[in-house]
Chains A and B, each alone.
Chain A
Amino acid sequence: NAGVTQTPKFQVLKTGQSMTLQCAQDMNHEYMSWYRQDPGMGLRLIHYSVGAGITDQGEVPNGYNVSRSTTEDFPLRLLSAAPSQTSVYFCASRTTGHKNEKLFFGSGTQLSVL
Chain B
Amino acid sequence: AQSVTQLGSHVSVSEGALVLLRCNYSSSVPPYLFWYVQYPNQGLQLLLKYTTGATLVKGINGFEAEFKKSETSFHLTKPSAHMSDAAEYFCAVRPMDSSYKLIFGSGTRLLVRP
Co-complex (A, B): yes
Show the binding face of A for B, using Cβ within 8 Å.
Answer: 4, 31, 33, 35, 40-45, 48, 50, 56, 58-59, 90, 92, 96, 99, 101-103, 105-108
When chains A and B are docked, how far (Å) is the Cα of A59 from the Cα of B103?
9
- Find out whether the CB atom of A107 lies under 8 angstroms from the CB atom of B9: no
Which residues of chain B in 10-51 are interfacial with respect to chain A, using CB atoms and an 8 Å cutoff? 32, 34, 36, 41-46, 49, 51
Select the stretch in B68-76, B77-85, B94-102 that faces chain A. Answer: B94-102
Interface size on B, residues (CB 8 A): 25
Q: 8 closest Cβ contacts across the A-B interface?
A: A105-B43, A42-B104, A43-B104, A42-B106, A105-B44, A102-B46, A99-B51, A107-B43
- Find out whether the CB atom of A103 lies under 8 angstroms from the CB atom of B44: yes
- Find out whether the CB atom of B32 lies under 8 angstroms from the CB atom of A42: no
